[in-house]
Amino acid sequence: MKHIYILVLLSINSITYSQVGINTDTPTAALEVISKTTLQNDIIFQSTNSNNNKLLSVQNNGDIDFTKALMPNGDPGKNSLYLVSQGEDSPPIWQSLPKGATVQILSAQNDVTSTTKVSIDISPTIKFPILNSSLDATFGVWNSTNNRFTVSKKGVYLVTAGIDTIDMRSSNDKPNPSANLALFIFAGPNSYTGQGIVYKDNSNYNYSAVVSNYFILEKGNYIQIVASSGNSSWYQGPSFLSISYTELP
């Protein structure tokens, strides 16, 4: 009988400290889930409530999506507050943005080359279809139709943008080794800054430009990026836009 008790205790101990694997026979953690697919946006873990509403999901690329508030120590925070780390083994806390502190409020990009040619003497608004993070409406609103950021809060805005232009061609549709490229930030309603740094690859007739500047903007002002090449047609290639905010003292 004594031996039976020992075997039972050993079995319970083994179960207590066992590791569980899903799609793996050799888990390396208390619970390890191995995805069956290599598609980056496929969901490998998901939690839903009794109404079948998604609460939390983890994608194959490591992105974590959740639909409710992030609540360190049960505190959901308030609008315009930011999580500040309290160091190792301590939960972050919500704090106001300090005077003079700078925070990135928008990061957007375009990853593909457009199939629509920009004609000579046309200055199009640059498109940024991918937003890399959610935008706090306290600072502004992004319009994906006209690719315009409208300011909601007065402050100092640092705007940085870059573009690759592909296959610069002259009026006779031949590659143009003397093409011009200008990149402009319209911010205001009236202020703008242009030109920026231009990189030329005449072997492939591709040009790149980066422009950056600070603007003091009021509520209702907007930010928009425009490119121009007066003597060439071209295609919009990969591009990016970053906007940071600093509160006025």
- Is the pTM here over 0.75, yes or no? no
User: What span, in angstroms and rounded, lies between the C-alpha atoms of 91 and 81?
Assistant: 15
The beta-strand segments (E) located in 138-232 are 140-143, 148-151, 155-169, 182-188, 191-193, 197-201, 206-217, 222-228
Q: Cα 170 from chain centroid? A: 35
Q: With a cut of 50, say whether residue 77 has pLDDT above it.
A: yes
pLDDT in tens, 148-195: 999 999 999 999 999 999 888 888 888 887 788 889 999 988 778 877
Give residue limits of the domains in the chain.
Answer: 16-68, 71-96, 102-247
Position of tokens 């990061």? 107
pLDDT value, residue 10: 40
pLDDT in tens, 30-60: 777 777 777 666 777 777 777 777 667 777 7
The CATH number of the domain covering residues in 102-247: 2.60.120.40
Among 111, 112, 146, 113, CA closest to 132: 111
**pLDDT grade, residue 80 (50/70/90)?**
low
**pLDDT grade, residue 100 (50/70/90)?**
low
Q: Cα 182 from chain centroid? A: 25
Among 181, 139, 175, CA closest to 161: 181
Of the listed ranges 15-29, 168-182, 218-232, the one predicted with least confidence: 15-29
Percent of the chain with pLDDT over 70: 83
Mean pLDDT of 5-14: 44
Q: With a cut of 70, say whether residue 16 has pLDDT above it.
A: no
